[in-house]
Amino acid sequence: MEYRTLGNSDLRVSVISQGSWAIGGPWAHGWGEVDDQESIRTIRKSIDAGINFIDSANVYGLGHAEEIIGEAIQGRRDKVFLATKFGAIPNANAPGGFNWDGSPAHMAQECEKSLMRLKTDHLDLLQVHWPIAETPIADTMGGFQRLIQQGKLRYAGVCNFSKAQLAEAMKYGKLVSLQLRYNLLERDMEEEVIPFCIANGMGVQVYGPLAHGLLAGEFKHGDKLKAEDWRSRYTLYESTMFEKIMCVLDKLLPIAKSHNHTLADLAINWILNRAGVTTALIGMIHPWQVDENLRSIDFQLSQKDLGEIDRAIKEADIELRILAPEAYMEKTKQK
């Protein structure tokens, strides 16, 4: 296993990390049933394989994901760094939607709940889940500092922040990392955000490195998602875009096969070799997925490979861009 330092912290984290969105099971975003014991076995296998960074959030399964992690790490707490998030509050009047609160009081309340569910006395990293317009960033950063002083938190981080939002937050305290969505197809963050993180000593955690299954080779031309699948509302899965992306993947698959690897291996390997990236968060719910994903770090893409990958995307002549954090946040609030 390869390890990298997470920004300006002393956390040496594995380049493959355990995400836990799906571990939460069926909740607001339509994940199917998940076998909790299978999830526990998966987390323990990942730890045994050298994966030492586990990321969660207070709303994943409405707390259930944290509870499963807490059970899985019993007797192994010293082998892992625990990261979680706060800020989102499920909206009972709008199923699948959220209210948002980044205030120090709400942060402290959610931190206590997370500590209890994770069965630990401290978090290695607490992150605000999205930029929250309703709360001044100075207040949020002050809340982080109080938890650090109380020994309940080691480091503070943010998720889905723009360059301007990062700069504003850093006026009021230290941030060690940014968590963002980034993959072969969604590369907006290369323009400003990731260079800003590099220049300011912030680690980058990548979620969605497989574009939520699209880069894992799970789909073929003509496939359509069921309406209840949250990904049906995800830009990359819209019919016209989806078919163009399938054509791109047709060109990428031979590159993966030339290394005796899968499309998913190629996508993860590519992201881990991008400037500034510290770790890729991958949601694993079966022990076999640990072995499968670890294969992605045992080969090296050549400059020729990288050139062919970029050319395939460029020739597709599609706008492979995600919404800016502010726009995505507004879209999320409207659900």
268-319 tens-digit pLDDT: 999 999 999 999 999 999 999 999 999 999 999 999 999 999 888 888 765 5
- Measured CA to CA, the distance from residue 74 to residue 76 in angstroms comes to 5
CATH number of the domain that residue 157 is part of: 3.20.20.100
Q: What is the pLDDT of residue 117?
A: 98
Q: Is residue 254 part of a domain?
A: no
Q: Do the strands 3-5 and 12-14 form a parallel or antiparallel pair, or are they unpaired? A: antiparallel
* Neighbouring residues of 111: CB distance < 8 A, sequence distance ≥ 6: 86, 123, 126, 147, 152, 153
Question: What pLDDT is recorded for position 332?
Answer: 42
* CB burial string 192-201: b at 16+ within 10 A, e below: ebbebbeeee
Task: Please report, as a single letter, which amino acid is at residue 227.
Answer: A
For the chain, what is the mean pLDDT? 89
Predicted confidence at residue 32, as pLDDT, reads: 67
CB atoms near residue 164 (< 10 Å): 14
Quote the CA–CA distance of 220 and 167 in Å, as a whole number: 41
Averaged over 115-129, what is the pLDDT?
Answer: 98
Pairwise CA distance, residues 291 & 320, whole Å:
30
**Has residue 333 got a pLDDT over 50?**
no
Q: What are phi and psi of 245, to 5 degrees?
A: -65, -40
Report d(CA 138, CA 172) in Å as an integer: 6
Residues 43, 73 contacting (CB under 8 angstroms): yes
Euclidean distance between CA atoms 167 and 64, whole angstroms? 33
In a domain, 223, yes or no: no
Q: Residue 112 belongs to what domain range?
A: 3-213+271-300+321-334
Judging by DSSP bridges, how do beta strands 203-207 and 81-86 pair with one another?
unpaired
Let me know: does 263 contact 215? Beta carbons within 8 Å.
yes
**pLDDT the model gives residue 271:** 96
Closest CA to 245 of 230, 270, 263: 263
Spatial distance between the Cα atoms of 233 and 229, rounded to a whole number of angstroms:
8
Residues with a known catalytic role:
60
pLDDT band at residue 143 using 50, 70 and 90 as cut-offs: very high
pLDDT > 70: what percent of the chain?
Answer: 88
Quick one: pLDDT band at residue 323, thresholds 50, 70, 90? very low
β-pair type (153-159, 177-181): parallel
Could you report the per-residue pLDDT of 14-67, keeping only the tens digit for each?
999 999 988 887 665 555 678 999 999 999 999 999 999 999 999 998 899 999
Assess whether pLDDT exceeds 90 at residue 71: yes
Mean pLDDT value across residues 68-92: 93
**310 is a domain residue:** no
Q: Which residues pair with 157 in a beta bridge?
A: 127, 177
Whether 331 shows a pLDDT value over 50: the answer reads no
Residue 236: what pLDDT?
77
Residue 172: partners with Cβ closer than 8 Å, 6 or more residues away: 137, 138, 141, 142
pLDDT score recorded for residue 303: 94
The closest of 265, 276, 68 to 177, measured between CA atoms, is 276
Cβ atoms of 175 and 181 closer than 8 Å: no
Residue 184 is assigned to a structural domain of this protein: yes
Count how many domains the chain has.
Answer: 1
Distance (Å, rounded) from C-alpha 210 to C-alpha 153?
30
Token pair in block for residue 78: 């010293």
Assigned domain for 261 exists: no
User: Does some domain include residue 107?
Assistant: yes
The answer to whether residue 243 is domain-embedded is no
Taking only the tens place, the pLDDT of each residue in 161-210 is 999 999 999 999 999 999 999 999 888 899 999 999 999 999 999 999 99
Residue 149 has pLDDT above 90, yes or no: yes
Burial environment of residue 80 by CB neighbours within 10 A (0 to 12, 13 to 18, 19 or more): buried
pLDDT at 148 over 50: yes
Q: Is the pLDDT of residue 237 over 50?
A: yes
HSE-up of 3 (CA within 13 Å, CB side)? 12
The pLDDT, as a whole number, for residue 306 is 93
Predicted confidence (pLDDT) at residue 226 exceeds the cutoff of 90: no
Please state the rounded mean pLDDT for residues 144-163.
97
Residue 122 lies in a domain: yes
